[in-house]
Structure 1
Amino acid sequence: MELILWRHAEAEPGSLELADEHRALTPKGQRHAARMGAWLERKLPADCRILVSPATRCVQTADALGRRYKVVEALSTASSAEAIIEACGWPTHRQPVLVVGHQPLLGDVASLLLCGQKQDWRIRKGGVFWIEHKASDGMPYIRLVAGPDVIGKLR
């Protein structure tokens, strides 16, 4: 199974007037989401399932990919790494999964899958953390970690 964790791109700051789940991407965040989305569109398998947090900034980040996706409440900011892993069907689901979500949850997911415990791993805004698991190996491994600033250099 392949699990691609994509942290939402830069969003506007929180405020008393704007609920956290309604924060939108900044112009810089829109550019980074578009850059990463274009790269992912070329690299993702055609059958990749795309699961997205209901937060506006995550939906906008996923929109930059240009593929159909499913908004999943289990990926919200109030979720847990365990709930996200379960929603993905890790590791038994054969279909690749792209998750568009939040920090620190995505870092928790990556560290839990790769180390067996949650650690303070950070994924940059707009960045991806690509994990692969082959049943024949038994152990997951890191396939790619990249931010939107360097993704254009990866062909």
Structure 2
Amino acid sequence: MTTHAREGLLSRLVRPRRPAAESVDRLRLEHELAVSRLRLARWQQHADAYERRLGDAERERAHLLSWLAALHPASAVLTPLTGPEHEGTHRLCLIAGGWHLSWHIPPADLALFAHVPFRAESVDAHPVPDAVDQGALIRRHVRLLAMEGAVQAGLAGRTP
């Protein structure tokens, strides 16, 4: 048997290891893909839960603002916001504790504010405190109301 024939016979009998290595790589990649898909599904569940909670908080905010507007009927007013970025959004303006307060109301929540008068005037007619100042004003007003309640309860002879 010639050398060339022996090499041909050996090459047919002994298969190269390359396909086995490729199958290991393929299995590893399939496993990594499956793990990635599981992680994606888990993170999607977290994102969906966050979106539901955010929606719940936004609905609760709208209901609380509607209630606040009902408590201040003399000063509460809805005005439309202008500009393409505010499409359909209105601003609820009211005076509470002597302070001008305002919030953006998305179009989906406007039905909750049917009891609030609508004015088509420019929103520039109402001063707008920045968000930090408005939060501080609200906290201050709440503290004053709480102190007033405690004083009235003390005068009536009961504990708050």
Please state which band the TM-score falls in when normalised by the shorter chain. under 0.3
Normalised TM-score (structure 1): 0.27
Normalised TM-score (structure 2): 0.27
| Larger fraction in strand | 1
Instruction: Answer 1 or 2: higher relative contact order, Cα 8 Å, separation at least 6.
Output: 1
Decide which structure has the larger Cα Rg and report it. 2
